[in-house]
Amino acid sequence: MIYELIIKILFILLKIVAIVGPLIIAVAYLTFMERKIIGYMQVRIGPNRVGPKGLLQPFADTIKLLLKEIILPTNANKFLFLIAPVLSIGPAIAAWAVIPFWADSQNVPVALTNIDASLLYILALTSIGVYGVIIAGWASNSKYAFLGAMRSAAQIVSYEIAMGFALVGVLMAAHSINLGQIVQQQAGGIWHWFWLPLLPLFVIYLVSGVAETNRAPFDVAEGESEIVAGFHVEYSGVTFAVFFLAEYANIILISMLTALMFMGGWLSPFEGIPVLEKAFAWVPGIAWLLAKTAFFMFCFLWFRATFPRYRYDQIMRLGWKVFIPITIIWLLLLGAAIVAKIPPWFSGQ
Amino acid sequence: MLLMSALMVVSARNTIHSALFLVLAFFTCAALWILLRAEFLAIALVLVYVGAVMVLFLFVVMMLNLNTDLLREGFIRHLPLGILIAIAIVAEMFLALNSGGFRMLDQAALKAVDVPGYSNTRALGSVLYTKYLYAFEIAAVILLLAMVSAITLTMRRLKGTRHQNPAKQVKVMRADRLRIVKMQAEPKGDSND
């Protein structure tokens, strides 16, 4: 009995390592890709010194950050100052517990825990990630950090509403709040995926995701030219690295969620097309999911290289006065479409 | 844990700390709900109270920069009244929970939960939108009313404030901002004097 329990716990721990390990490697190489891609977009070369073609650059960066000293600002609240990075990385990693990666031979989604309310769970966890930012800004005892935290809090709270409404559209279309079932509802090739019937919600979700992770062009929380580096000005060494890790883990999470909810997750895009379906049948589901995720991650970097930073009042206007009305109107239209059973998306329900 | 963090909310010296202890109290409350197999309520609690309400609370508390000494002065003076209210609330809750409704629910609910494939979220949704639809909608309208009245109470249009018109800003053309002036070139040698 005890023996079985230990084996079970060890197995779960192994699964967690199997998810978090690749995630951290992906974060390291996402930072590298970011510098390379933005470099190429701006006609530069990007990092190319450490290792072949600069491929060992992320390790050099990590080792440098780990060896640096952690500096506590005077009069900073020591406990809160040190726990803030933990509070931002915790939810960013915990949300991965419910992400399904592929379906096994019985068409059951494979995830660490396949809970019923997984969409709500993710929404709840992404919303508590903001505490890391707020507490970091307040505990640093610095005006720049405080301003960054305030901006970030206002921004995240306002975009969360639009994001939540976009998710309501997804769960209405899928008739489920389980991520695995949402993907299975999209079966039947590229035209059956939810990006088409939910096009406005798809765009809003992606843009809100960019705003929620405080990435350019919505990166006023860090706004180098105005408030130095925002909420993490006072952080150095490992504590800064943890904030960095959380931000990039969130980017990958949002990209993967977009792929799962609007782009058919692990389903092949050639389903239902006679020749291509057979030709690509050997590709495992996770490869499709990772390819789609990689595309959205590339979009994040692309946005950063392309758009200038939004003005603060424009960010708030976009969130409250543009996105929320559009999502509400689309939800009404979607309800009508579901009642009318418009094929091919809503005919089978 | 819940009681301890709730106690710390009122006794913490720093207002930010008490707000953070309130977050902890919500979390432990959500954990209790998970133990009662009400995962939807637990997640909704974290989502709404921790994710949105407390962020705004912290926002306001941080902005106001309250004077903590002034707040502590009243603590002892108001203590008897506070204890009285606490006793009244505890008594009320005891009476309400001891009445028939909750006891009956206790046994029946536990049996229903033990069925495999039971989904708390689905069950709650199906009851909320059929049996209790009327009460649900009244609650929604009351909340809307509270929101509208709070906004009308606080919204004052000050005279002389300037507003931006985004539509106008988008439509602006080069000709509106820029004027190209043709000038005679300065004769050579004069400019560097």
Average pLDDT for A175-193: 78
Asked if the C-beta of A310 comes within 8 angstroms of chain B's C-beta atoms, the answer is no
Q: What is the pLDDT confidence band of residue B189, given thresholds at 50, 70 and 90?
A: low
Average pLDDT for A64-91: 81
Quick check: A78 pLDDT over 70?
yes
Quick check: A320 pLDDT over 70?
yes
Tell me which chain A residue has its CA closest to the CA of residue B119: A116
pLDDT digits (tens, 9 = 90+) for A216-258: 788 776 766 666 767 777 777 788 888 888 888 888 998 988 8
pLDDT digits (tens, 9 = 90+) for B157-166: 777 777 777 7
Strand partners, A103: A109
Quick check: B71 pLDDT over 70?
no
Asked if the C-beta of A131 comes within 8 angstroms of chain B's C-beta atoms, the answer is yes
Tell me which chain A residue has its CA closest to the CA of residue B53: A157
**Alpha-carbon torsion (A41, A47, A51, A55), positive or negative:** negative
CB contact under 8 A, A131 and B39: no
The b-or-e profile of A35-59 (16+ CB within 10 A means b, else e) is bbbbbeeeeeebbeeeeeebeebbe
Contact assessment for residue A303 and residue A216, using Cβ atoms and an 8 Å cutoff: yes
Q: Looking at residue B142, what is its pLDDT?
A: 93
CA distances (Å), origin B160, targets B154, B157, B163, B169: 18, 9, 10, 20
Q: From chain B, pick out residues whose CB is under 8 angstroms from the CB of A108.
A: none
Three-state SS string over A201-247 comes to HHHHHHHHHHHHCCCCCCHHHCCHHHHCCHHHCCCCHHHHHHHHHHH
Q: Give, in degrees to the nearest 5, the angle at Cα B82 between B79 and B86.
A: 140
Average pLDDT for B173-178: 82
Minimum mean pLDDT range among A60-64, A197-201, B70-74, B75-79? B70-74
Minimum mean pLDDT range among A15-19, A90-94, A119-123, B122-126? B122-126
Among A169, A162, A123, A176, CA closest to A262: A169
Q: Looking at residue A348, what is its pLDDT?
A: 58
Residue B151 CA from chain centroid, whole number: 15
Tell me which chain B residue has its CA closest to the CA of residue A311: B166
Q: What is the pLDDT confidence band of residue B145, given thresholds at 50, 70 and 90?
A: very high
pLDDT over 90, % of chain A: 0
A47 vs A58: CA distance, rounded Å: 10
Q: From chain A, pick out residues whose CB is under 8 angstroms from the CB of B62.
A: 134, 138, 146, 149-150
Q: What's the complex ipTM?
A: 0.70
pLDDT digits (tens, 9 = 90+) for B17-67: 777 888 888 888 888 887 777 777 888 888 888 877 888 888 777 777 665
DSSP for A293-327, written as a single string: HHHHHHHHHHHHHHPPPPPHHHHHHIIIIIIHHHH
Query: Structure tokens of B106?
Result: 């206790």
Specify burial of residue A165 (Cβ count, 10 A radius: 0-12, 13-18, 19+): buried
Residues from B contacting A (CB-CB < 8 Å) are: 16, 20, 23, 39-40, 43-44, 46-47, 50-52, 55-56, 58-59, 62-63, 119-122, 164, 166
A216 vs A309: CA distance, rounded Å: 6
Q: Beta-carbon neighbour count of residue B82 at 10 Å?
A: 11
Q: How far is A54 from chain B (nearest CA, A)?
A: 40
pLDDT digits (tens, 9 = 90+) for B100-135: 655 555 555 656 555 555 666 777 777 777 778 888
Minimum mean pLDDT range among A32-46, A201-215, A289-303, B66-80? B66-80
Q: Which residues contact B80 (CB under 8 A, 6 or more apart)?
A: none
What phi and psi, each to the nearest 5 degrees, are found at residue A132? -55, -45
Q: What is the pLDDT confidence band of residue B141, given thresholds at 50, 70 and 90?
A: very high
B66 vs A202: CA distance, rounded Å: 42
Tell me which chain A residue has its CA closest to the CA of residue B27: A128
CB contact under 8 A, A150 and B166: no
Average pLDDT for A137-166: 81
Interface A:B, Cβ pairs < 8 A: 64
Rg (CA), chain A: 21
Average pLDDT for A54-83: 80
Say which of B20, B23, B43 has its CB closest to residue A120.
B43
Q: Give, in degrees to the nearest 5, the angle at Cα A52 between A47 and A55.
A: 55
Q: Beta-carbon neighbour count of residue A1 at 10 Å?
A: 5
Q: Looking at residue B144, what is its pLDDT?
A: 92
pLDDT over 70, % of chain A: 93
Query: Structure tokens of A71?
Result: 């500096």
Q: From chain B, pick out residues whose CB is under 8 angstroms from the CB of A317.
A: 166
Quick check: A84 pLDDT over 80?
yes
CB contact under 8 A, A153 and B40: no
Quick check: B171 pLDDT over 90?
no
What mean pLDDT value characterizes chain B? 76
Quick check: A207 pLDDT over 80?
yes
Query: Structure tokens of A65?
Result: 């950050």
Say which of A124, A138, A314 has its CB closest to residue B46.
A124
Say which of B51, B55, B119 has its CB closest to residue A116.
B119
Most confident of the following: A159-163, B68-72, B75-79, B184-188: A159-163
Q: What is the pLDDT confidence band of residue A347, given thresholds at 50, 70 and 90?
A: low
Quick check: A332 pLDDT over 60?
yes
Minimum mean pLDDT range among A16-25, A108-117, A287-296, B126-135? A108-117
B173 vs A121: CA distance, rounded Å: 47
B172 vs A314: CA distance, rounded Å: 16
B38 vs B30: CA distance, rounded Å: 9
Among A208, A220, A297, A195, CA closest to A253: A297
CB contact under 8 A, B52 and A314: no
Q: Which residues contact A347 (CB under 8 A, 6 or more apart)?
A: A341
Q: Looking at residue B106, what is its pLDDT?
A: 58
CA distances (Å), origin A252, targets A195, A255, B47: 19, 5, 21
Contact assessment for residue A293 and residue A200, using Cβ atoms and an 8 Å cutoff: no
pLDDT digits (tens, 9 = 90+) for A273-285: 777 767 777 777 7
Minimum mean pLDDT range among A253-262, A268-277, A320-329, B139-148? A268-277
Q: Looking at residue B104, what is its pLDDT?
A: 54
